[in-house]
Amino acid sequence: MYLVKIFLGRQLKLWKVETRGKGRIVIGTVEGDIHSLGKNLVITMLRIAGFEVIDLGVDVPCEKFIQAIKEYKPDVLGMSALMTTTMINQRKVIEELKRRGLRGEVKIIVGGAPVTEDWAREIDADAYARDAFEAVRKISELIEKN
């Protein structure tokens, strides 16, 4: 994965891909989950597609997601969870956004191996993606609707 990121990063510079203007995305893997491969693939694909991406990393606490939304004012927040035991933290972030009156400020997409369309609806996410290609498509659609 590391070599892919290096190669694509160089290609983006060679191709002079504009990474601003299509939209700003904040993305991270939720608290308790240290898996990064899927998140990193989504980030790479988003950057290739021309999005500005702020990567919060892995094991991201709820408060860090909240602060990033306040600081970066993204169009879309992406949350990944690879384990069923950490999926609940996607809900926790959304509930906290509602509690603070910030839910209407950002569209939310969720993904990860155990995550489903039904789960996304249940937690009030705006979209669900099963892979990086679908994530780019759905994020583009969310931004176009705004």
Domain ranges in the chain are: 2-145
Q: What share of the chain is helix, strand, coil (3-state, %, to 5)?
A: 50, 15, 35
Q: Can you list the alpha helix ranges (DSSP code H) found in the chain? A: 2-15, 37-48, 62-72, 88-99, 117-122, 132-145
What is the pLDDT, as a whole number, of residue 12?
Answer: 53
CATH code of the region 2-145? 3.40.50.280
Structure token pair of residue 96: 């906290």
pLDDT-wise least confident of 14-18, 56-60, 99-103, 128-132: 14-18
Spatial contact of 107 and 75, defined as CB atoms under 8 Å apart? yes
Reading the block at residue 89, the tokens are 């933290």
**Is the confidence at residue 87, as pLDDT, over 70?**
yes
So what's the pLDDT on residue 44?
95
pLDDT band per the 50, 70, 90 thresholds, residue 146: confident
Average model confidence (pLDDT) for the chain?
Answer: 92
Instruction: Summarize pLDDT for 8-60 with one digit per residue, the tens.
Output: 666 555 554 454 579 999 999 999 999 999 999 999 999 999 999 999 999 99
- CA 95 vs. chain centroid, Å, equals 17
Predicted local confidence at residue 13, as pLDDT:
55
The pLDDT of residue 29: 99
18 in helix, strand or coil? Answer: coil
Question: Taking the model in full, what pTM does it have?
Answer: 0.88
